[in-house]
Structure 1
Amino acid sequence: MDERGLGRGPISDVQALTGGTQNVMLSLSRSGRRYILRTPPSAKRPNSDDTVRREARVLEALAATAVPHPRLIAAELDTAVMGSAFYLMEPINGFVAPAGWPEDFPAEPARVHRIGLAAAETLAALAAVDHEAVGLADLRRPGSFLERQVSRWRWQLDSYSPGSEYVGLPADHVASVAEWLEANRPLSECTGIVHGDYHLGNIMLSARTGEVAAVVDWELVTIGDPLLDLAHFLACWPGTEENTAFAEIMPVAPTNGLATEEEIILHYTEKTGSNVEALPWYKVLAAFRLGAILEGTSVRASRGEVPGHIGRQFHRAARGLFEQAYRQAAECSI
């Protein structure tokens, strides 16, 4: 911070903002200014430092866009300084719904209803960003994004090395959903920036209006089909009765007044002009993919790298998401 001209003297008022099972976020102050520090967890995965480097790069690329995000202050990409790559960003004045509604917020139905529509508008703004113009063209991998999704997330599941206490996922559901996704994959796709983990836990909201103040946690950002972000949001949306699997780790209550799934989809299509006929397929993929990701925390817990109760909670959520995907695939007609 001295070398970057970011204040002088001691760092004070350090507070943990997350549990750190994925990445660590700390709030800190120096010279009267508040900063948010983001860095990998103590038990790093092989790609943890590269993930933080990519996050910082994407935040910098979004600086001149209409996408609400935390402003990047400075990034340290070299692990020699602190043992890990890390970056500093501006704090955001807002709240996340799973942490609880601000006082009297649910009493204003218009603010509660606005959340889903504002989230759809933010996705539309992200989909409109030219990833090549903002310098992120090299994040795109060759070939079809959709064609590699099932194999990518099956590989993720197969790559886990569980400990002796690990209880597996329902193999029949995993296999059946994978087969359905491959057999029903859309023939066309769009290309843009995909946040990769878009849900109410990663959206900071204005307590005054319900607008999106910032999208956070860009660790899964990639270049792919933006419709997956909408599907992911809907697969986790607490306003839909069938979406119960994600509720344990990201509970939102009360849900009275939240926009319906149909309203969110309509608003998104009005803002983007996108064809959402194949959205049911994307929703099944979103649940399948998220289940594979969450199960990684369960596996790490079985190895003693994450508290056991968190691992069990994430396992229940992952299992529920595969069941949700299985059920939706069985009911789906595209």
Structure 2
Amino acid sequence: MSNEDTAVRSAPDVHRLSRWLGEQGLPGGDGDLVVARIPGGSQNQLYELRSGAERLVLRAAPSHASPERAARMLREYELVRALAGTDVPHARVHAATTDTGILGQPFYVMDHVDGWSPMQGGWAAPFDTDLEARAGLATQLVDGIARLSRVDWRAGGLEGFGRPDGFHDRQVDRWLSYLDSYAFRELPGLEVAADWLRTHRPRDYRPGILHGDYQFANVMYGHGAPARLAAIVDWEMATIGDPLLDLGWALIAWPPEGDDMTESRYLDYAGMPSRDDLLEHYATVSGRGVEDIDYYVILARFKLAVVLEQSVARAAASGGDPRVARFDGIVLELLRKAAELTRSTSLT
């Protein structure tokens, strides 16, 4: 057992956690709880909870989280709980608490997912060498959000969870206002993309659940071929909006249009199906039209660039942060490609 495991298991707060688990009727409440930190995830803290053969996962807001950030943790729990009984792959949630006397921050407990993430060293075997099998990972990626887009969010108790009315009317000015609070340099392509987005809003907008950060980094797959999506994870940015933005997000750097996006890709896309094939699959499963997909790709690039630029600005103000050094190039590439797509798209 690692020193970290030993330190966490013997910490006093684990005893409080064990007591709370017992009150919820969950494994680990009888004193045999072992807690181990799960690496990865810069935004929130993940812990594996082991009690005999039982395994659960605890997701907590970071210790330095603001009250608003902590509240988002409970919104995430509310959203995932609404997915119970649907065909959307997700980790079932069990209980949540705002009681900071247990761990110091709000948290919730969910099922442990037996699977792997592309962020744990890239494509797992056999997808690292079998390109035909790897293509299935992309199809499953898109399948997950196609299923999510079909969920009846009102029936799931999510009325009031977001502000779906006027979703597209708010996007550009909201994110430009956000950028204004930390802007420190010129961003070529920003205004081109913003002006185009204002005048090319989608023709057919149907509100649904929006994950908000949908990409290979935020899903888990089952072990072995054929590809199987085991769970969509990291729901912190979820809201009620336009589900097609998740599709645009997934296709931010997709071939062939995105083949020159060397900064924004963190995985090898060799063997992946064409964008047209993925659009067809999404349309078939979701029942939604994909004719305006270029709008969603441009909006996804625009929004992600604005979000990442905040980290770039902070690093510049503090003398640099090696953890976000790559973001500088990603921001500029995203906006360059967003502007390029406004000029090459067939949308009028």
| TM-score, normalised via structure 2 length | 0.85
Does the 8 A contact of 2:164 with 2:241 survive in 1? no
Instruction: Determine the structure 1 residue equivalent to 2:283.
Output: 269
Residue 196 of structure 2 is matched in structure 1 by 180
8 Å contact kept, 1:51–1:219? yes
The 1:190–1:323 alpha-carbon spacing in structure 2 relative to 1, beyond 3 Å, is same
1:302 and 1:311 in contact (8 A); partners too: no
Partner of 1:323: 336
> 1:301, 1:310 within 8 Å by CA — same for their partners in 2?
no
Deviations 1:199-252 (A, max 9, x none): 0000111232211110000011011111111111011447741443422xxx21
**Alignment match of 1:287 (pick from 279, 282, 301):** 301
Shift of 1:331: 2.0
Deviations 1:171-200 (A, max 9, x none): 342222111111222243111001111100
**Aligned mates of 1:302, 1:137 — CA distance in 2:** 41
CA displacement at 1:10 relative to structure 2: 5.2
Give me the whole-angstrom Cα distance separating, in 1, the residues matched to 2:103 and 2:320.
24
1:81-100 matches, cutoff 5 A = 81-99=102-120, 100=122
2:267 to 242, 252, 257: 252
Is 2:231 the partner of 1:214?
A: yes
Match of 2:259, SS?
Answer: coil
- Answer yes or no: is the 8 Å Cα contact 1:299–1:311 preserved in 2: no
Measured after TM superposition, the shift of residue 302 of structure 1 is 4.8
Aligned positions of 1:1-334 closer than 5 A? 1-6=21-26, 7=28, 8-9=30-31, 11-20=33-42, 22-45=43-66, 47-99=68-120, 100-141=122-163, 143-160=165-182, 168-208=184-224, 209-237=226-254, 240-247=258-265, 251-253=266-268, 255-302=269-316, 308-334=321-347
Aligned-residue offset at 1:45 = 4.4
Whether the 8 Å contact between 1:115 and 1:259 is mirrored in structure 2 is: no
2:51 partner letter: R
Change (3 A) 1:5 1:290: same
1:142 deviates by: 5.8
Output the CA distance in 2 between the equivalents of 1:276 and 1:199.
18
Q: Which residue identity is paired with 2:243? A: P
Bigger mean CA deviation after superposition, 44-53 or 121-130:
44-53
Q: Distance in 1 between matches of 2:92 and 2:123?
A: 25
Once residues 282 and 120 of structure 1 are traced to their aligned partners in structure 2, the CA distance between those partners, rounded to angstroms, is 14
Cα RMSD between the aligned structures?
2.3
The residue type equivalent to 1:77 in the other structure is T
SS in 2 for 1:223: strand
2:22 partner letter: D
| Higher alpha-carbon Rg | 2
Structure 1 unmatched ranges of 5 or more: 163-167
Offset at 1:80?
4.1
Instruction: Give yes or no for contact 1:193–1:225 (8 Å, CA) kept in 2.
Output: yes
Pair 1:135–1:15, CA change in 2 (3 A): same
Q: Displacement of 1:31 after TM fit?
A: 4.1
Instruction: Return 310-319 or 177-186, whichever deviates more.
Output: 310-319
1:85–1:299 CA distance, 2 compared to 1 (3 A): farther
Structure 1 length normalisation: TM-score? 0.88
- Please report how far the alpha carbon of residue 333 of structure 1 lies from its aligned counterpart in structure 2 after TM superposition: 2.8
Stretch of structure 1 that moved more, 124-133 or 36-45: 36-45
Work out the number of aligned pairs and report it. Answer: 322
Amino acid in the other structure paired with 2:308: L
Q: Deviations along 1:239-288, whole A, 9 cap, x unmatched? A: 741443422xxx213x3321121111111112223222211111100111
Q: CA deviation at 1:104?
A: 3.1
Give 1:117 deviation, angstroms. 1.3
Equivalence for 1:165: none
Q: 1:296 to 1:232 in 2, by over 3 A?
A: same
Larger relative contact order (Cα-Cα within 8 Å, sequence gap ≥ 6)? 1
Cα pair distance change 1:187/1:267, threshold 3 Å: closer
- Paired position in structure 1 for 2:7: none
Q: Which secondary structure state, in structure 2, belongs to the residue aligned with residue 137 of structure 1?
A: coil
Worse-matched range after superposition: 2-11 or 188-197: 2-11
Shift of 1:46: 5.1
Contact 1:269 1:276 (C-alpha < 8 Å) held by counterparts: yes
Could you tell me the percent identity over the aligned residues? 33
